Amino acid sequence: MLFRLVATTVVALSSLENLMRALSFVRPSFAAGLLAVTLPFAAHAQRSRATTPAPTSGFAFEATPYVGYMVFGNYLSGPLGSSVSNAPAPLVGAELGMQITPNLSIVGNLATTSSDIQAGIPLLGGVSVAHSRLVMYDAGLQLALPLTTAMGTQMTPFLQAGAGAMRYDITESIVNTTATNFAANVGAGVDFAVGRGVGVRVVAKDYIGKFDAQQATYLDIGTNTTNNFAFNAGLRFSF
C-alpha cells in the first residue's frame, strides 16, 4: 500500500516535471511565433506612416491682377447688316477669391476697358460715333480640378459662373450719358503653379448682357442680348 502511494507520487511528480518542461518550451516558441506574426504588420504600419505625406496647410485667399483683351457683340442690329457695338479693346482688372472647400471658391471680379462705340455700315465698315469707358463687376463661384502632368507640372483647370453688372460711361463731344445693365458670366481657365503661393492664371470669360439703350438715350430702342468675350492672363497670389 505504501509502495503504491510512493509510486503514484513519483509518477505524478514526473508528469508535473514533463509538463513544466513542455510549458517552458511552449512559452518561448509561442512568443517567437507571435513576434514573427506581428513584426510584418508593425513594419508595414511604420512604412505607411513614413510614405504617407503629412497634411500641408492650404491657402484661404487668392488675388489675381490681370491684363487682357475684350471683344464685344452687336447690341444693336439694323437693316442691310448695319449694327452698333463697341470696338475690341485692351482690358485690365483684378480678381479676389476665398476658398470655402478644397475645390470650391467664392470669387469677385472688377475690370475696366475703354472703347469706341462703332456703327457698322455696309461698305464703310466701323464708324466711331462715341467713346465709352466700361466697368464690369461681378461675383460668383469657381470649381477647381487640380491635377499633375506627367512631367510633374502642377496645373489646375477651373470653371467659373457668376453674375454682376456692366456700366457704360459714354461721351460724345460735350454730351455725357451712362447705362448699366445686368450681366451673367461663365468662364474657364487654368492655373499654372510657378512657386509656393504664386502662379500664372489664364482665363476666357463670356459676359452675357443686354445694353440698356433706353437708359443711355431716353429712347425706347430694343437691343440684343450679347456675348462679350474677355481673354486675360495674370499672376495669382495665394495667401
CATH number of the domain where residue 136 is located: 2.40.160.20
- Quote the pLDDT of residue 58: 62
Residue 93 and residue 147 share a domain: yes
Domain range for 220 is: 61-238
What mean pLDDT do residues 88-105 have? Answer: 97
Copy the grid coordinates of residue 89. 479693346
- Quote the pLDDT of residue 220: 86
Residue 18 and residue 72 share a domain: no
Structural domains counted in the chain = 2
Is residue 167 pLDDT above 50, yes or no? yes
Provide the mean pLDDT of the chain.
Answer: 81
What mean pLDDT do residues 182-201 have? Answer: 96
Residue 83 and residue 161 share a domain: yes
What mean pLDDT do residues 162-170 have? Answer: 97
Structure confidence by residue, pLDDT tens digits, 192-239 = 999 999 999 999 999 999 999 999 988 888 899 999 999 999 999 999
Structure confidence by residue, pLDDT tens digits, 7-38 = 333 334 344 344 345 434 444 443 444 334 44
What mean pLDDT do residues 127-143 have? Answer: 96
Residue 198 and residue 223 share a domain: yes
- Quote the pLDDT of residue 166: 97
